[in-house]
Amino acid sequence: MSIPHFRSADNPVSAHSRCSATPAKVTLPHLQEKKRQGQPITALTAYDYATARIVDESGIDLILVGDSLAMVVMGHDSTLAVTVDEMLHHTRAVRRAVRRAIVVADMPYGSYHSTVADGVSNAVRFVKEAGAEAVKIEGGRNRLELVERLVDAEIPVIGHLGLTPQSVHRMGGYSVQGKTLRGMNELMRDSVALEHAGATAIVLEGMPREVAQQITAEISIPTIGIGAGPDCDGQILVFHDLVNLSFSKPAKFVRQFGDAASLFRSAIEGYRDEVVRRTYPAELESYHLPAEERLALEERTLEQEAERSGTKLALIR
C-alpha cells in the first residue's frame, strides 16, 4: 500500500512519516485523501489484542471493533445483545494492540436509540475510556441530530447504511437492501444527509453494486463497502469471515483468504496426541535444577532408598 506524500500542512503526522510511503499513523484525513486520490481504503474488524496486532501490523488502514463480536466472539445469533460495557472491554484490548490503524468503536444496539444525549454520553465513553478515534452508528436521516451532536463533541462519526444488522427485526432477516429505485433513492438521500450532518465516512453494507457505486460517486466522504461491490472507496470484512472462523455458511460477498479453523484444529489435535503419547513436553522443553541441586537431590534420594531398605530388613528380621 502506498500513501501519497502529503504537503506538511495537510498531514499532522511526524516528519519521519511524511517522508515514508506508509504513514506511522493513519488518520481520518488520510482516508479522505485516499478517496480524493482514488486509492482503496482497507478495513477489517478485530476484537482482541492478538488479532488486532496482526491486523495492524499487516498494514490495514482502519480497524473496527464491530458489534459483530456479539455473533463471532460471543456466539449470539444477532448483534443486538452486546452491551456498551462489553464493547468497551474489547475496544480497550484492541486499542492496546494498535499503533498505526485508525481504531473505530461500533456503538451497540440500545446505546444511541433512546435519546441523543444518551448516544453522546455513550460515545464519549468509547473515546475517553477505550481510546476509540471514531464511533460508528447505524441509520440515516433518523440519526442526523446525533451525528451533529457527536461532531460538536469532537467525536468523528462513521455512518452505516443498507443492510444494518441492528435493524434485523424490522428487515425481517439479513437481506440485501435498496433493490428498487425507491430504495436506492432512500439510500442516496440518507448518504447525502449523513455527509451534510458531518459524518466522516459511511459503511455501505448489503446493497446492489450499482447503488453503492452511485452513492460513492455522489458524496465526497469515503464509502467503505461490505457486500456492496468493488466501486466503494474501501472495503471492510469481518475478521472471522476472512479466515474461516465464523462457523456459518459465508455470505455471497465473503471471500475466505485463509483457513484459520484448519490451522487451529491441526495444531490442537497435534498437541492432544503428543500429550496422550507423552511425547510432549520433551526433555528439551523441560526446566532443570542447577547441577549442584541435582546432585544434592540424587544423594537425598539414595539416602531415602537406603533408609527404606534398612527399615524393610529390620522388619523382616
Q: Mind telling me the catalytic residues?
A: 205
The binder of ligand KIV chosen from 56, 106, 195, 233 (CB under 6 A)? 106
- Cα 167 from Cα 141, distance rounded (Å): 15
Contact between 203 and ligand KIV per CB under 6 A: yes
Q: How far is the CB of 246 from ligand KIV (least distance, A)?
A: 11
Q: What is the 3-state secondary structure (H, E, C) of 55-113?
A: HHHCCCCEEEECCCHHHHCCCCCCCCCCCHHHHHHHHHHHHHHCCCCEEEEECCCCCCC
Contact between 238 and ligand KIV per CB under 6 A: yes
Q: How far is the CB of 156 from ligand KIV (least distance, A)?
A: 16
Q: Nearest CA to 236 among 262, 261, 196, 201? A: 201
DSSP code for 161: E
User: Does residue 109 contact residue 277 with C-beta atoms inside 8 Å?
Assistant: no
User: Does residue 216 contact residue 228 with C-beta atoms inside 8 Å?
Assistant: no
The binder of ligand KIV chosen from 161, 226, 245, 254 (CB under 6 A)? 226
> By CB under 6 A, how many residues form the interface with ligand KIV?
11
61 or 205: CB nearest ligand KIV: 205
The binder of ligand KIV chosen from 212, 236, 243, 245 (CB under 6 A)? 236
To 5 degrees, how large is the angle CA 149–CA 150–CA 154?
A: 115
Between residue 61 and residue 80, which ones bind ligand KIV under the rule CB under 6 A? 64, 66-68
169 or 288: CB nearest ligand KIV: 169
173 or 290: CB nearest ligand KIV: 173
Q: How far is the CB of 114 from ligand KIV (least distance, A)?
A: 21
- Cα 154 from Cα 165, distance rounded (Å): 26
Q: Tell me which stretch binds ligand KIV (CB under 6 A): 59-67, 175-183, 206-214, 243-251.
A: 59-67
11 or 157: CB nearest ligand KIV: 157
Q: How far is the CB of 100 from ligand KIV (least distance, A)?
A: 20
User: Does residue 52 contact residue 44 with C-beta atoms inside 8 Å?
Assistant: no
Q: How far is the CB of 212 from ligand KIV (least distance, A)?
A: 13
Cis before 281? omega within 30:
yes
Task: Give the three-state DSSP class for 235.
Answer: strand
Contact between 45 and ligand KIV per CB under 6 A: yes
Paired residues of 41 in beta bridges: 234
Residue nearest to ligand KIV (CB): 66
Q: What does the binding site for ligand KIV look like in residue numbers (CB under 6 A)?
A: 45, 64, 66-68, 106, 203, 205, 226, 236, 238
